[in-house]
Structure 1
């Protein structure tokens, strides 16, 4: 495409996509013409509305702020000027679901000024993408005083009711709750992403992007089908503390005609700043074993004891397993001083991040790992004692760097940071960003557990590999467990925000060495399917390594990549089922993962995603006939067949089960 032709396209978009309907109403539409945002200034009050094709999503909804000891900023405005633009680029992520991402939108910036009183300025930017809309506020420095936000008045007045999938906000266990499905009109205050299927059939996800130096947004139910932004407060009640100016995160709505299109949306990533890490050669997607599952099922302890998990002896045994199984990373939890049986209680627990536990020698272990081609993943559990952690963070990360460690998992177990602040308030937001930047300084990738929610930071800091932020696999080890539909809900809720360290791969789903009466609530084949359905550039092989040794199903876990060239969702219904295919970034092979809730299903899959005029060997791992998630769930049938792009493949999923397939290109 010539430069002049590109300029013609941009100019056309400006004319077509941005229109002034009246003196105080402006509209923009997405490049494909489907998503429309209208800004309205009515009697000095700013409002906005959103529609998709012929369907109204949001009726006029409020905008503005309430400040501490200052007048609110939500009325008596006039429009000073309006700037319109179109943008179209294609960028290449360091790692991800696809090799390239297109960032294409139309934008309108509304510059407002109060007509009286302080005559304060406020800019509101709106962007319309093909996969949704976004907007943010920019409040420039106006005087020397600091400014404290007590409330954000943004509302989302939904035109119609519909079912929502949600987890509660302001609970002690952060984001780790089972998802509830209920009508929007019956919601409480909830975390984002909030996924809604409207009565007219649209699939919507409400979230935010590029969250930094601000409180995270929860959504509080108002009347009917109206939701309001509810910023997470500091312990003193303030919502956001500023030096007098601020830029909010983007408030986002991903919009899709079918649920599967929510999953392939890149809107959240596109609203983040480009990569700021110049040398990314040390950032490597990987699979890993861990001294971890044994602690959760009671085989080992985190602390020093006769069944201590993190010992030099155990670490070397696991390194030997890594070498034998072909896995080149190993996580070791509990290697440092400070672990006790009460480590997880909210008591400002004191961990050391440089002193080794008894029976563990870090240098001996890392030297042995290096000699065997294995990289150690470090672990920092803060116990939410952030004061203690930040005093030691440089020394702890420097120790890892000295010992050749490039990856660290960081936990924040506890209901409050420092027994005081929410994980997802402004304090927590800034803490997590500080840790991420510090890790980059020491060339460490990060896997946060008990995190702040993902809002696309991985584009700016690609060392932000994955995070927890939902009920993961561990709940199956020691609680009532995750029901079979849990894994069919997460792709449409939590995982719309970004990669999750779910820790799949339990092949002994009956947990024979665990607590009595506990099991994983999936079939073993479904555990394989999770590696394709759930994207993460780091994927744990969570089971005890002896359960992989000599297990034919482990071949799929050896083969499946974690970094992809392309991603497609072939079928999907929220909480019911999903089938995803991904193409390996480093070969011509495709991988398929399909899973269901507690209902058994049969799918006929069109293989047209494969290359034309090529033959593939389909290596199929599926549920053994007649099993269910709670009966014979360990059994897997493995078969192969030659297939073409013109073929169809039948998948038979047991109740609570799944299927995993590698399509190996052979001709």
Structure 2
């Protein structure tokens, strides 16, 4: 028998009392290992989660690296392929045998500098499985947590191999009974990047989809397939081959190559979050736990908080980004917004359209943008100094329109200008059709790349690293999808990466009532989103207009709790908040940084209830907040308040839909009321069609 395999079996037997790993050689007969020559060919290793509910089996059956996953002894991923394919050396798949395993177990805590949860528990069992065909070898590292699994490839330096080009990843995810499994998805490799309304279909009906990709199996188990720690690699989409067989489909460079790399290298983690019900996905910490710890050191300069912005007025046609009589980004208008922000307790004001380039056809030619020269009616030093007097920061904005070479050339000077003026946060934009990111290569030739190809994965991260040198945080719009890198680079404070609020101004169709209850279980599983909630003028052109916000006013409040981001925008115009001061009070009060977050109830695309405990703040972390939203179905929820601290009385400040509320005809019917409660109480919350409820539990 192979000595390395015997060593592996001995290691496993040593750890058997902890249920970390079992190596099965041949067939299991009558509870004993039968090592007959005819059965030694197929080797496999089984990795269990700490609670033993999840089991991952890695095997070389059929002389191919494969894996399968079960949850409570029922398959959630059928036997699926592993491997990589290179242009120079071909596929690492056929005739690759499992030759060695190494195991480990981790149970530790780590602290987020900001986040939806202050303390994170990293509890997993791991194995590194080595496959070889006698000439080449590669490792697959698996980790099994109680909330799912992750695995990644390690390709060591070997046979004088240096430069390598991946033309295919062989990873598949085989979904059991795909004709009975429901899924929620947006198309991949499309012109609008990630900005689509989610579709709900059987797994069999998808073609190529983005991740996170959420699935509900016929037995009720929920899965989310995604990736973690995406650096220097192409993003993974999922391409359905045979029915239910989803292949990892990497986004290519303009020349067709998927990944350009060198040995040794490691891939991002392929992740499968697993939960018996929908809310289990929301309470998962898998993605963050698979990322590297903070590389930036002291990041106390990264500041969560709420902000106002010269932004929504452009979308509804009240202002313009470009110069002229309706120019929004003027010195006087910015000072007016800063007055509003200071009075509301906000940390800053975002200003879009201040820099030269917004006149003319900027959408199709981002080379026109200057990131250091302002329009004549905007004085960056004057507004920054004015904000400092009020305790309000200027929040910067850079729109590249996809011309990343132009941005790269100006980046140092642009970030230096912001640093000089005390700007500590920048919203960056990459508005361009998918596959139309413009770069100029080393030979001066224009190339067009995807937002989620390897080139742009590295370009986005470059901006994060350069900003960090100046203690600046980045909020990326039209981004690469989130894969948990905020743990490693905490100044990557938020991003877009889905259909946001602006589609309600001109989207045709705008976001439907089920959009945000779906985002919670799909896009939000990846990480924070700058959705920009808080629109109070829900239908500027009338309730019958096609483009309008399809929610009640109370649902806009609840979004601040449900859709997590450490920076949240009060997105509407100040004059519209003045019409509903009692409702606006919740936006002023709600924090953006949390000690604890718990998803209490919900179903994908239907409704969701989140409770979050404030970190620090005026209550010293004693206050809790709750947000509940629904789709176009009216429903009444009974909320058990056992998440509240024991031996503490609270004043529940409740903002909820009124009895006649309806998003279509009466979105402004709402009730603000207070009750005294403890953790032994229950609350009934009636939600209107596309309605919501927001509660502050103020500790007494």
Does TM, normalized by the shorter one, top 0.5? yes
Question: Does 1:223 find its partner at 2:254?
Answer: no
Structure 2 residue aligned with 1:131: 147
Structure 1 residue aligned with 2:387: 369
**Per-residue deviation, 1:421:** 0.1
1:326, 1:392 → 2: CA distance? 33
Structure 2 residue aligned with 1:288: 307
Would you say how many aligned residue pairs link Structure 1 and Structure 2?
653
> Of 471, 483, 506, which residue of structure 2 is paired with 1:478?
506
Alignment of 1:452-531 (within 5 A): 452-480=480-508, 481-511=510-540, 517-531=546-560
Structure 2 residue aligned with 1:183: 202
1:72, 1:316 → 2: CA distance? 61
**Per-residue deviation, 1:475:** 0.2
Structure 1 residue aligned with 2:10: none
Structure 1 residue aligned with 2:592: 562
Question: Does 1:612 find its partner at 2:646?
Answer: yes
Structure 2 residue aligned with 1:198: 217
My pick for the range that moved more, 468-477 or 415-424, is 415-424
Structure 2 residue aligned with 1:541: 570
> Of 258, 274, 279, which residue of structure 2 is paired with 1:239?
258
1:400, 1:516 → 2: CA distance? 40
**Per-residue deviation, 1:348:** 4.0
SS at match of 1:268: helix
> Of 20, 29, 32, which residue of structure 1 is paired with 2:23?
20
Question: Does 1:32 find its partner at 2:48?
Answer: no
SS at match of 1:182: strand
**Per-residue deviation, 1:11:** 7.6
5+ residue gaps, structure 2: 1-12, 26-39, 439-446
Question: Does 1:579 find its partner at 2:589?
Answer: no
> Of 208, 233, 255, which residue of structure 1 is paired with 2:227?
208
Q: Which runs of 4+ in 1 moved over 6 A?
A: none
Q: Do 1:57 and 1:160's aligned partners in 2 also have CA atoms closer than 8 Å?
A: no
Q: Cα 1:196–1:476, aligned 2, differ >3 Å: closer, same or farther?
A: same
The C-alpha deviation readout for 1:465-488, integer Å capped at 9, x for no partner, is 111000000000112210111011
Question: Does 1:355 find its partner at 2:373?
Answer: yes
1:13, 1:538 → 2: CA distance? 46
Structure 2 residue aligned with 1:603: 637
SS at match of 2:448: coil
2:388, 2:412 → 1: CA distance? 23
> Of 59, 69, 76, which residue of structure 1 is paired with 2:78?
59
2:60, 2:362 → 1: CA distance? 54
1:362, 1:132 → 2: CA distance? 48
Structure 1 residue aligned with 2:464: 436
Q: Do 1:409 and 1:447's aligned partners in 2 also have CA atoms closer than 8 Å?
A: yes
**Per-residue deviation, 1:57:** 1.1
Question: Does 1:100 find its partner at 2:119?
Answer: yes
**Per-residue deviation, 1:12:** 5.4
The C-alpha deviation readout for 1:613-635, integer Å capped at 9, x for no partner, is 22111101111221211112123
SS at match of 1:420: strand
**Per-residue deviation, 1:223:** 1.1
Alignment of 1:42-57 (within 5 A): 42-57=61-76
1:323, 1:496 → 2: CA distance? 33
> Of 403, 411, 417, which residue of structure 1 is paired with 2:437?
417
2:66, 2:357 → 1: CA distance? 53
SS at match of 2:465: helix
Q: Do 2:113 and 2:300's aligned partners in 1 also have CA atoms closer than 8 Å?
A: no
1:122, 1:509 → 2: CA distance? 55
Question: Does 1:174 find its partner at 2:193?
Answer: yes
**Per-residue deviation, 1:244:** 3.3
Q: Do 1:510 and 1:633's aligned partners in 2 also have CA atoms closer than 8 Å?
A: no
CA RMSD of aligned residues (A): 1.6
**Per-residue deviation, 1:342:** 2.7
2:546, 2:175 → 1: CA distance? 44
> Of 645, 657, 661, which residue of structure 2 is paired with 1:627?
661
